[in-house]
């Protein structure tokens, strides 16, 4: 292997240019070959040559109305008091679309003809070519109908048919082959052992390619053996227009891919100034472009968008498809690494007339950040980030109309909100309830800053024993907010089934043999824990695991179920699906704090109706650990 020079850590645009140049030098064809397909199969494909009309449409002068065809000159002088009469030889009855009979040059609407025993009486003259659809009105033979490089839509193909086409010359569909690698990677559907992960990337990348109209094929997973990967890659490129080599999940596995590409072909770029997606590899093997995608799923998905999608469009000779964009106000400060384009997933919602963007978790492994995202915000390499409230440009992952029908909930996490989201959607597919879990305190701040319609909150004031309202008074003083009770719910310690360590309550948390798993700062459950500890004069550093923070009840339950912790404070509804035992600590109210104006916003009406419905209350009851007695009651 001879080390040839390649680019490292360059901006995405430079990487794309270098890749394109390397592909050209390696003999990759710039465009896919043209193929002739039926009109039916042409929709969605890209024209390989311009489409010129070979037939005019309509192919004849035609009546534009139902009525009679006449010679306009015969009607000159006709008026209300001076009607003109045309005998049966001087007109023809025509329907819309009928060819204009020879010798006729105008049509009179049926409604304007008085038929007197076969003689047509006209009370107005008609201009020549009145109500006549000229030959070629739609398209004229020899006219350029569609340029080369045009992605065909249904009406394009229909117009081509009307203009005489019976088949069309389009680019062949690009063939994308995905080659997953990694010792620890198992096919989707397998049982995974410790340290093993599922190959969700191949499924996703192939689907992304198919979404762009490509044929896509996934190869079996290759272990981390450079010889085997090289052989598999060499075999794969023969039938591919783009080979995507997916690295395993470890850092440094891209070095692997880089070496394989350099050895089997030409390595153009290794590492781009993009986050996530930095360890991307770009090159070519045997005249086929190769993209080395990182193993982290968000990196893999974005790498496809940033590098594969433009290449595939270019192979088809078409403009790359771009998502629509919108302007949005950033919900909070966003720090970003200088020197890298930072692709931030955001939730969007229209609150108080402004579209607000709330950044989602940024880890390259958090695929749900893409699932829950409504848009992508790119912080360019030259920027250190954005201030809260700054207006930013967001690429839309969902339609803006869907965004506008989204109830934005920021605050504490509760399963009842998930249940409500499902129920609202089932009743009206246009409605979304999107909740971001930042804890109760964060929710109240979001309401204050106009970033959400609602905040779920269950904040205990240790001094008074009252919930939420004291915090509303403090944080939302002077703001016009309402508070609506959602549920009462049981909080307790989640412990392994059978409670093997015999945890009896908060007092036990000082036991050195117990590993606790905590919630993040600002979470109501954390506030509850701290109050309970203070009441018992237990210091936080006496609680082993106090520093381990999870962001949801379910994450706490998962940690306990996996044996990574012995107990954690959470709700009964989170214990159940994991088969955990539950040691009750408190019954607390969980409320919705409603931002100014949102209470009467028609967008939220279906939610209030839902809280009144017996079916929904029954469904909440079935979760366990909830009382719905006060559901929907306005407490402020």
- How many chain residues touch a second copy (CB under 8 A)? 130
254 is a site residue for a second copy (CB under 8 A): no
> Footprint of a second copy on residues 370-389 (CB under 8 A)?
370-371
Q: Min. distance of Cβ 332 from a second copy in angstroms?
A: 21
The two three-digit tokens of residue 588, written as one number: 């607390």
Residue choice 174, 248, 277, 411 for contact with a second copy (CB under 8 A): 248
402 is a site residue for a second copy (CB under 8 A): yes
Is-cis flag, bond preceding 276, omega within 30?
A: yes
User: Is 471 within 8 Å of 589 (Cβ atoms)?
Assistant: no
The strand pairing partners of 325, in sequence order, are 395
The strand pairing partners of 74, in sequence order, are none
Residue choice 11, 44, 462, 470 for contact with a second copy (CB under 8 A): 44
Q: Min. distance of Cβ 74 from a second copy in angstroms?
A: 14
Q: How far apart are CA 533 and CA 34, in angstroms?
A: 73
Phi and psi (nearest 5°) for 333?
-55, 140
Among all chains, which residue has been given the structure tokens 């929907």? 632
The two three-digit tokens of residue 430, written as one number: 């246009």
- Cα–chain-centroid distance for residue 312? 20
Residue choice 250, 354, 540, 627 for contact with a second copy (CB under 8 A): 250
> Footprint of a second copy on residues 426-445 (CB under 8 A)?
426, 429-430, 432
Q: Min. distance of Cβ 470 from a second copy in angstroms?
A: 31
Q: How far apart are CA 194 and CA 207, in angstroms?
A: 28
Interface segment toward a second copy; rule CB under 8 A; list 335-343, 348-356, 421-429, 583-591: 421-429
Q: How far apart are CA 488 and CA 467, in angstroms?
A: 11
Q: How far apart are CA 363 and CA 343, in angstroms?
A: 11
Neighbouring C-alpha atoms within 13 Å toward the C-beta of 377? 32
452 is a site residue for a second copy (CB under 8 A): no
Q: Min. distance of Cβ 425 from a second copy in angstroms?
A: 4
194 is a site residue for a second copy (CB under 8 A): yes
The strand pairing partners of 147, in sequence order, are none
Interface segment toward a second copy; rule CB under 8 A; list 75-83, 351-359, 555-563, 598-606: 555-563
From residue 346 to residue 375, the character string flagging contacts with a second copy as x (rule: CB under 8 A) and all else as - is -----------------x-xxxx-xx----
Q: Min. distance of Cβ 286 from a second copy in angstroms?
A: 26
> Footprint of a second copy on residues 62-101 (CB under 8 A)?
62, 65-66, 95-100
Q: How far apart are CA 176 and CA 585, in angstroms?
A: 56
195 is a site residue for a second copy (CB under 8 A): yes
462's CB contacts (< 8 A; 6+ apart) are 527, 530, 531, 534, 535
Phi and psi (nearest 5°) for 465?
80, 0
Q: Min. distance of Cβ 318 from a second copy in angstroms?
A: 5
549 is a site residue for a second copy (CB under 8 A): yes
User: Is 317 within 8 Å of 404 (Cβ atoms)?
Assistant: no
β-pair type (406-411, 197-198): unpaired
Task: Classify residue 112 by its DSSP letter.
Answer: G
564 is a site residue for a second copy (CB under 8 A): yes
301 is a site residue for a second copy (CB under 8 A): yes
317 is a site residue for a second copy (CB under 8 A): yes
Residue choice 198, 501, 510, 596 for contact with a second copy (CB under 8 A): 198
> Footprint of a second copy on residues 471-530 (CB under 8 A)?
none
192 is a site residue for a second copy (CB under 8 A): yes
Q: Determine whether 261 is exposed, middle or buried from the number of CB atoms within 10 Å of its CB (0-12, 13-18, 19+).
A: buried
From residue 124 to residue 153, the character string flagging contacts with a second copy as x (rule: CB under 8 A) and all else as - is ---xxx---xxxxxxxxxxxxxxxxxx--x
Q: Min. distance of Cβ 130 from a second copy in angstroms?
A: 9
Q: Min. distance of Cβ 255 from a second copy in angstroms?
A: 11
308 is a site residue for a second copy (CB under 8 A): no
605 is a site residue for a second copy (CB under 8 A): no
């Amino acid at each position: 292997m001879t080390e040839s020079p390649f680019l490292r850590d360059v901006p995405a645009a430079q990487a794309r240019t270098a890749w394109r140049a390397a592909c050209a030098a390696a003999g990759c064809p710039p465009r896919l070959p043209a193929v002739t397909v039926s009109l039916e199969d042409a929709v969605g494909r890209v024209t390989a040559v311009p489409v010129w009309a070979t037939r005019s449409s309509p192919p004849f002068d035609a009546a534009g109305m139902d009525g009679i065809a006449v010679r306009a000159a015969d009607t000159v002088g006709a008026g209300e008091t001076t009607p003109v009469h045309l005998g049966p030889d001087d007109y023809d009855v025509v329907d819309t679309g009928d060819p204009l009979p020879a010798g006729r040059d105008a049509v009179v609407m049926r409604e304007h003809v008085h038929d007197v025993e076969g003689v047509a009486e006209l009370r107005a003259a008609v201009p020549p070519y009145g109500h006549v659809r000229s030959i070629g009105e739609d398209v004229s033979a020899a006219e350029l109908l569609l340029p080369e490089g045009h992605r065909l839509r249904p009406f394009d193909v229909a117009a081509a048919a009307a203009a005489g086409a019976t088949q069309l010359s389009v680019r062949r569909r690009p063939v994308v082959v995905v080659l997953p690698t990694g010792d620890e990677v198992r096919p989707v559907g397998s049982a995974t052992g410790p340290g093993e992960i599922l190959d969700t990337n191949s499924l996703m990348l192939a689907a992304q390619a198919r979404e762009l109209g490509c044929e896509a094929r996934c190869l079996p997973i290759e272990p981390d053996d450079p010889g085997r990967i090289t052989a598999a890659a060499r075999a794969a490129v023969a039938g591919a227009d783009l080979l995507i080599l997916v690295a395993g999940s470890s850092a440094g596995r891209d070095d692997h891919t880089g070496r394989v590409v350099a050895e089997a072909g030409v390595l153009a770029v290794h590492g781009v100034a993009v986050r996530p997606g930095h360890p991307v590899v770009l090159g070519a093997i045997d005249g086929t472009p190769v993209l080395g995608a990182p193993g982290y799923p968000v990196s893999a998905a974005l790498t496809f968008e940033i590098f594969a999608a433009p290449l595939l469009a270019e192979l088809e000779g078409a403009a790359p498809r771009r998502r629509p964009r919108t302007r949005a106000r950033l919900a909070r400060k966003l720090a970003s690494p200088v020197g890298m384009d930072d692709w931030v997933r955001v939730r969007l919602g229209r609150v108080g007339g402004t579209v607000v963007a709330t950044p989602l978790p940024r880890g390259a492994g958090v695929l749900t950040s893409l699932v829950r995202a409504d848009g992508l915000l790119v912080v360019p390499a030259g920027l250190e980030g954005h201030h809260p409230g700054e207006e930013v440009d967001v690429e839309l992952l969902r339609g803006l109309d869907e965004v506008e029908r989204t109830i934005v909930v920021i605050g504490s996490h509760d399963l009842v909100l998930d249940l409500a989201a499902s129920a609202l959607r089932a009743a009206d597919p246009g409605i979304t309830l999107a909740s971001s879990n930042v804890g109760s305190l964060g929710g109240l701040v979001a309401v204050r800053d106009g970033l959400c319609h609602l905040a779920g909150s269950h904040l205990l004031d240790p001094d008074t024993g009252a919930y939420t309202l004291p915090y509303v008074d403090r944080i939302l003083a002077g703001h016009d907010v309402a508070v609506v009770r959602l549920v009462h719910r049981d909080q307790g310690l989640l412990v392994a089934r059978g409670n093997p360590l015999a945890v009896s309550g908060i007092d036990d948390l000082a036991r050195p043999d117990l590993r606790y798993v905590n919630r993040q700062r600002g979470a109501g459950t954390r506030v509850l824990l701290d109050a309970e500890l203070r009441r018992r004069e237990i210091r936080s550093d006496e609680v082993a695991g106090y520093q381990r923070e999870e962001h949801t009840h379910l994450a706490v339950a998962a940690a306990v179920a996996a044996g990574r912790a012995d107990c954690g404070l959470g709700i009964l509804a989170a214990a159940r699906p994991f088969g955990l035992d539950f040691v009750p600590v408190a019954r607390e109210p969980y409320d919705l704090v409603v931002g100014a104006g949102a209470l009467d916003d028609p967008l939220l009406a279906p939610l209030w109706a839902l809280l009144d419905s017996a079916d929904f209350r029954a469904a909440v009851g079935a979760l366990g650990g909830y009382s719905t007695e006060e559901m929907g009651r306005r407490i402020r």
